[in-house]
Amino acid sequence: MVLSMNWLSDYVKINASPKEFSDRMTDTGSKVEGFEVLGEKIKNVVVGKILSIEKHPDSDHLLICQIDEGTGDSVQIITGAHNISVGDLVPVAKHDSYLPDGTHIKSGKLRGLPSNGMLCSLGELGLTSHDFPYAQEDGIFILQEDCKPGDDIRDVLDLNDIVVEFEITPNRPDCLSVIGLAREAAASYNVPMTLSKPRVKNVSKDNINDYLSVEVKDNDLCPRYTARMVKNIKIKPSPKWLRTRLRNSGVRPINNIVDITNYVCLEYGQPMHAFDYEYLKGGKIIVRRAEKGEKITTLDDIERNLSEKMLVISDAEKAVAIAGVMGGQNSEINNDTKTIVFESANFYGPSVRTTSRSIGLRTEASGRYEKGLDPENTLPAVERACELIELLDAGEVVDGIIDVYGKKAVQAEIDFEPEKINRFLGTEIPEKFMLDTFKMLDIEYKNGKLYPPSFRADLLCMQDIAEEVVRIYGYNAIKSSKFVAESLVGRRNDRQKYLADINRLLRGLGLYEIQTYSFISPKYYEKINLPEEKRRSVIISNPLGEDTSVMRTTALPGMLEALSTNRRKRISSCGLYEMAKIYIPKEEDSLAEERISTTIVFYGSGDFYTIKGYIEELLAMSGIKKYNVSAEKNNPSYHPGRCAAFSVNDKVIAIIGQLHPSVMGNYDFDCPVYAAEIDTEYLITAKNTVREYKPLPKFPAITRDLSLVCEKSLEAGTIQKAISKYAGNLLESVSVFDVYTDAKLGENKKSIAYSLALRSPDKTLSDEEGDNVVEKILKGLEKDFDIKLRS
Amino acid sequence: MKEKLHALYAKAMEEVASLNTSDEQISKSLEDFKVKYLGKKSELVSIMKEMGSLSKEERPIMGQLANDVRSKIEKAYGEAKEKVSKLELAAKLQAETIDVTLPGKCIAPGKAHPISAVQSEIEDIFIGLGFEIVDGPEVEYDYYNFTALNIPPEHPARDTQDTFYINSNVLLRTQTSSVQIHVMENKKPPIRVISPGRVYRSDAIDATHSPMFHQVEGLVVDKGITMGDLKGTLELFSQNMFGENTKIRFRPHHFPFTEPSAEVDVSCFACGGKGCRLCKGEGWIEILGAGMVHPDVLKRCGIDPEEYSGFAFGMGIERIVMKKYNIDDMRLLYENDIRFLSQF
């Protein structure tokens, strides 16, 4: 809402700078987005009278003018425009002047002759022919104003106004009007407001009922419909003061009738429409729901398909307007219009909103109706329109008003309990201040009860009243307090603590945490070769685009996008992880299963065993000692020979591996990429963070290294399990320290070396005891796998 | 004999004085000295052997003198040895000197994403104030996101949050405020929770908009909670988050689910309120929306507004991140370029 301060001063006198006014209004609840002092940028532009015109000797199109700028001397200015005559009054930008777009005009020479300024067009003053209909757009602005040479152009053209732009919240449609903001300003400054009742002085002898009938068929969607008629219309431009006010409020002047409807809408906040009576068939206005298949061409020249849910205004035959949205072309006023019907109606907000959204047409009117307008406002608004008709000499107002008003809204009644309000706010606002505030805001106080005005449908309970009081009193006058309440333990729960631990571990391992979008393109599944059955996703019905149209069931493809971004930027080594939700669809109409998932991706330094090490560390941190690692040959996202599944209690807890070459190709990776997908929800249930102290060993361990030769395909994990089995309970630890292959070992053979630590809790083991264990192991390995000691 | 002892002493002293270098031979020289003057076959021993030829009277005097000479040489030898070992150590340390300006060796740890880092910071402050952290669904029923928050179908406030719908009944939550309803349905007061998480709005991606972003919601419901308490809590939060001299400012606003409602500014943490580029000369930065929980919302969750009152607040994490680190383009937060991420 753009407010002209000149217009506001019709209702309330405010003595404050624009900045002070803006701050105060913001503090009391009408948020100011900014203000502009109009004409501020124009400097040194005055009215000039053309004394003589002659051709420039060295140019075909330039004219040399002598101008009277009101200083007594004549000033030479050269212009290229040809619509000027001697005696014309024109805007002159003098030497060292500024135009609204910041242009600095200085004396200079044009084709060798001095020119001491510039004659201005409408556009150069930031205006259009809508602002001054008599002026032509291309050429110098020939003034028809009452002015004399030397007058400041800002005064002459009424550019001296301050406009303030408000951001009005949807609960206050009453503030989308000059009167509404005047009321707020008056309350904010505790000064009186003058609001006069519009009055039509002369009316014709005939009556509106002689010409028109109004029938409201669907009064659930139209609580009130008020109409007045005007005949002998003289369509012409509005006077300058009205055009200026519209322009300063951001509305383009059109002609007197259209301007009046816009003016009233701005002033009263009540949308108005004018029908050409000649085109209302049968002299009827019927407010009804549209018929199936009904169509209307709106004022913007677009044919609109209507549905039975939409409310229309129709005559005896056809729809002439979409109620609360836009009028129809078939009843639009034109230069030959003789008789008009002013509509000032109240429509049900949600219905207007649905209609405007379904036909994709939002208008000034629909934006207002959506928020719920005051039905009491229709009558004063239509009266104001007719008052302006008289004032502008635009026609003859027909006697009588048609006013179809259904059931009036029940007025809210709220107990006034000042102590309760203060208790709720934590304030000590005097009762008198509250009562004064109610008076300023037109809230009636009677017998301990409060009755909000009809335009404040948002005031229903004590809390609403408390807000009214405290916003005028000042939010910042509320003293901060620390609430006294039952002590509660603020802490992260076990799950949250554990997730934080995982985060810390992964960062400690050198991985960067990233954040990727929860929604992805369905094509992303293709890029990681995800099996069809795992692609079922929660689908967004109105996505921004395909790229963000489904909720991910895996974070892997989004993370690979991020990883490839880094690779493209020639970063040599990069490790990333994300811990965030994935969304598994459930049955139709229920919510998704949202699971925390942790995904790691990296390229550069490290290999398969690096990512395996990450998971081993994670499991160790999680207190999970028993888990199984097995080769995973059939996961299509990964290299079939370099992929493994970690499982706990036979349930997979993580998949790790090197990406399948085709997946790498899909992301244009030129180096191996490794990934791990961790089922974090399962990890949370499997974790064991209870730690128990075990006494430190009293006796030393003895160590034995075994270099074994076995089949190349035999997995280290299998051998290790067998070692543990045959070693018995003296084995404290076993680990691989070397693997190599060599033709000397024999075809398809490899060497694998283990380091064993043996320890007894009761004594120092002898070499002999150690050798016995080794012997048992070697026998067992030979029997089971034909493994031999390397010679 | 006396003269012999004196001469021996003088010779030894002269010799020991020269043992003050740290060259490689010195240990041997020291050892030689010890053998020569203090060993079993030393000159001193051979002089002592002559004791037998002395008179009874002379014997103790000479014995005394010989012992004196011996202990003095021993002392001088000890001192020389200590001095030499000091010199040797100094030489060793000198030889082991390294270039301390060469770079360090370490596995460089990764870092938290700035959104997570700021989120944790916010969480920690509220945990300190006795708040719990709760989570809520992101794929949410329309009821929890809108209707239960006093935003029924066709309410104009729905326009301010362009919504992604799954179907007519299910959507991607546009605000973490939906968690308020879940909490109040499942828990009786006293309630003191925050709920951080992802929210979604149908805004095209540009420097200041993202269709997905993060919010933190806060909710307190108890007996006798006042708007002053809301202010006090947010003041404590802001001072912990942005610096102890931070001030806050409330501006009236409208949220359908709180009454009264406020937008909350904090004094600019870059300039302290004087006005700078970060706060666009205002001295204040808008950071929060807040208000007293609307009685209809309490009632809908089975909480009697006559007995209980509460406040709620919400803030956008990206906004705080961007202001805190002076980031001018939101897209950087989701591009995940490690050259960006490593800066925090």
* pLDDT at position A145: 87
Per-residue confidence at B125, pLDDT binned at 50, 70, 90?
Answer: very high
Chain B positions touching A539 (Cβ under 8 A) are 166
| Cα–chain center distance at B272 | 24
- Residue A287, domain CATH: 3.50.40.10
Question: What mean pLDDT comes out for the span B142-156?
Answer: 92
CB contact under 8 A, A513 and B253: no
Say how many domains are in chain A. Answer: 6
Cα–Cα distance, A16 to A403 (Å, whole number): 41
pLDDT at position B21 over 80: no
Per-residue confidence at A686, pLDDT binned at 50, 70, 90?
Answer: very high
CB contact under 8 A, A516 and B336: yes
Per-residue pLDDT tens over the stretch A5-15: 999 999 999 99
Q: Which structural domain, as residue segments, surrounds residue A126?
A: 43-156
Out of A429, A445, A474, pick the residue that ends a domain: A474
How many CA atoms lie within 13 Å of B269's alpha carbon, on the beta-carbon side? 19
- Residue A528, domain CATH: 3.30.930.10
Nearest CA-CA partner of A2 in A195, A241, A162: A162
pLDDT at position A589 over 80: no
* C-alpha distance from B322 to closest chain A C-alpha (Å): 15
Chain A positions touching B192 (Cβ under 8 A) are 485, 488, 490
Per-residue confidence at A751, pLDDT binned at 50, 70, 90?
Answer: very high
Those residues with Cβ within 8 angstroms of residue B69's Cβ, 6 or more apart along the chain or in another chain: B5, B8, B9, B44
A-B interface: how many C-beta pairs under 8 angstroms? 247
The reply to whether A179 and A230 lie within a common domain is no
pLDDT at position B25 over 80: no
* pLDDT at position A485: 67
Question: What mean pLDDT comes out for the span A310-320?
Answer: 95
CB contact under 8 A, A423 and B339: no
The reply to whether A215 and A250 lie within a common domain is yes
- Residue A98, domain CATH: 2.40.50.140
What does the H/E/C string look like for chain B?
A: CHHHHHHHHHHHHHHHHCCCCCCCCHHHHHHHHHHHHHCCCCHHHHHHHHHHHCCCCHHHHHHHHHHHHHHHHHHHHHHHHHHHHHHHHHHHHHHCCCCCCCCCCCCCCCCCCHHHHHHHHHHHHHHHCCCEECCCCCEEEHHHHCHHHCCCCCCHHHHHCCCCECCCCEEECCCCCHHHHHHHHHCCCCEEEEEEEEEECCCCCCCCCCCEEEEEEEEEEECCCCHHHHHHHHHHHHHHHHCCCCCEEEEEEEECCEEEEEEEEEECCCCCCCCCCCCCCCCEEEEEEEEEECHHHHHHCCCCCCCCEEEEEEEEHHHHHHHHHCCCCCHHHHHCCHHHHCCC
Out of A361, A384, A405, pick the residue that ends a domain: A405
Per-residue confidence at A60, pLDDT binned at 50, 70, 90?
Answer: confident
Per-residue pLDDT tens over the stretch A659-671: 999 999 999 999 9
The reply to whether A136 and A225 lie within a common domain is no
Per-residue pLDDT tens over the stretch A78-124: 999 889 999 999 999 999 999 998 999 999 999 989 999 999 999 99
Per-residue pLDDT tens over the stretch B220-238: 999 999 999 999 999 999 9
Please tell me which residue of chain A has the smallest CA distance to B132: A490
Per-residue confidence at B59, pLDDT binned at 50, 70, 90?
Answer: confident
Please tell me which residue of chain A has the smallest CA distance to B265: A476
Domain annotation covers residue A349: yes
The reply to whether A122 and A150 lie within a common domain is yes
Dig out the tokens for A382 from the structure.
Answer: 């239509």
Per-residue confidence at B62, pLDDT binned at 50, 70, 90?
Answer: confident
Please tell me which residue of chain A has the smallest CA distance to B305: A463
CB contact under 8 A, A571 and B259: no
pLDDT at position A775 over 80: yes
Nearest CA-CA partner of A246 in A98, A102, A156, A128: A128
Per-residue pLDDT tens over the stretch A330-374: 999 999 999 999 999 999 999 999 999 999 999 999 999 999 999
* pLDDT at position B6: 86
Domain annotation covers residue A289: yes
The reply to whether A522 and A657 lie within a common domain is yes
Domain annotation covers residue A247: yes
Nearest to A461 among B225, B254, B295 (CB): B295
- Residue A6, domain CATH: 3.30.56.10
The reply to whether A680 and A707 lie within a common domain is no
Per-residue pLDDT tens over the stretch A426-460: 999 999 999 999 999 999 999 999 999 999 999 99
* C-alpha distance from B177 to closest chain A C-alpha (Å): 17
* pLDDT at position A587: 83
Please tell me which residue of chain B has the smallest CA distance to A27: B251
The reply to whether A254 and A345 lie within a common domain is yes
* C-alpha distance from B202 to closest chain A C-alpha (Å): 6
- Residue A751, domain CATH: 3.30.70.380
The reply to whether A500 and A609 lie within a common domain is yes
Domain annotation covers residue A479: no
Out of A620, A653, A686, pick the residue that ends a domain: A686
* pLDDT at position B22: 64
Per-residue pLDDT tens over the stretch A116-173: 999 999 999 988 888 888 888 889 999 998 899 999 999 898 888 999 999 999 899 9
Chain B positions touching A476 (Cβ under 8 A) are 249-250
Domain annotation covers residue A696: no
CB contact under 8 A, B294 and A463: yes
pLDDT at position A217 over 90: yes
* pLDDT at position A198: 93
Contact (CB, 8 A) for A462 and A421: yes
Chain B positions touching A575 (Cβ under 8 A) are 110
Q: What is the ipTM of this complex?
A: 0.85
Per-residue confidence at A308, pLDDT binned at 50, 70, 90?
Answer: very high
Nearest to A515 among B115, B159, B170 (CB): B115
Question: What mean pLDDT comes out for the span B161-180?
Answer: 93
Per-residue pLDDT tens over the stretch B28-41: 888 888 888 888 88
A157 sits in which H/E element? none
The reply to whether A221 and A369 lie within a common domain is yes
Dig out the tokens for A347 from the structure.
Answer: 């429509």
pLDDT at position A624 over 90: yes
The reply to whether A574 and A672 lie within a common domain is yes
Cα–Cα distance, A271 to A322 (Å, whole number): 13
Domain annotation covers residue A694: no
Residue, of A594 and B108, whose pLDDT is higher? A594
Domain annotation covers residue A480: no
% of chain A residues with pLDDT over 90: 85
Domain annotation covers residue A481: no
The reply to whether A115 and A168 lie within a common domain is no
Chain B positions touching A597 (Cβ under 8 A) are none
The reply to whether A325 and A338 lie within a common domain is yes
pLDDT at position A694 over 80: yes
* C-alpha distance from B98 to closest chain A C-alpha (Å): 28
% of chain A residues with pLDDT over 70: 99
Nearest CA-CA partner of B150 in A223, A461, A353: A461
